[in-house]
């Protein structure tokens, strides 16, 4: 699997409620920034993603500008992604236009070494 396929398969796993932690490098230096959290180290990322999967449903992940590049065993990506999901504990639906970027490394397959997801505030 190449780096771009890894990103697209991560999106599919998110939509389907499949495990997400295997997409991340198993290392203490890996980091994931989400809309409202910072998760550092594989164990913290894995726990956070398990909780996210447990407490959310009905994901929509719409990629509209994916760009992926790689050199040897390193890669990076950026994308504009429409995200929507339902928080099952609160019964609230969330929708955001988001920006994604990150780095990947080849480690028996392509894994995220860093991921950053943010949303822009209009009118700034």
User: For residue 79, what are its two tokens?
Assistant: 């994308």
Q: Where are the domains of the chain?
A: 3-119
Q: How confident is the model at residue 124 (pLDDT cuts 50, 70, 90)?
A: very low
Token pair for residue 45?
A: 């990322």
Strand runs labelled E in the chain: 31-33, 38-40, 56-63, 67-71, 74-87, 92-106, 110-119
- For residue 122, is pLDDT > 70? no
pTM for this one? 0.94
- CATH code: domain 3-119 is 3.10.450.50
Q: What are phi and psi of 48, to 5 degrees?
A: -65, -40
Each residue of 73-103: pLDDT tens digit?
Answer: 999 999 999 999 999 999 999 999 999 999 9
Characterise 87 by phi-psi region: left (phi > 0), alpha (psi -120 to 50), beta (else).
beta
C-alpha torsion sign, points 73, 21, 55, 13: positive
- For residue 24, what is the DSSP state? B
């Amino acid at each position: 699997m190449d780096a771009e396929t890894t990103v697209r398969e991560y999106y599919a796993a998110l939509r389907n409620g499949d495990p997400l932690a295997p997409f991340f490098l198993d290392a203490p230096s890996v980091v994931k920034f989400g809309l409202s959290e910072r998760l550092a180290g594989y164990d913290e990322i894995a726990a956070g993603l398990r909780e996210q999967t447990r407490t959310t449903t009905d994901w929509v992940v719409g990629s509209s500008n994916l760009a992926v590049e790689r050199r040897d065993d390193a890669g990076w990506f950026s994308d504009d992604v429409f995200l929507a999901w339902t928080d099952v504990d609160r019964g609230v639906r969330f929708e955001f236009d988001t920006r994604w970027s990150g780095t990947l490394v080849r480690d028996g397959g392509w894994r995220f070494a860093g991921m950053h997801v943010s949303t822009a505030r209009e009118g700034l």
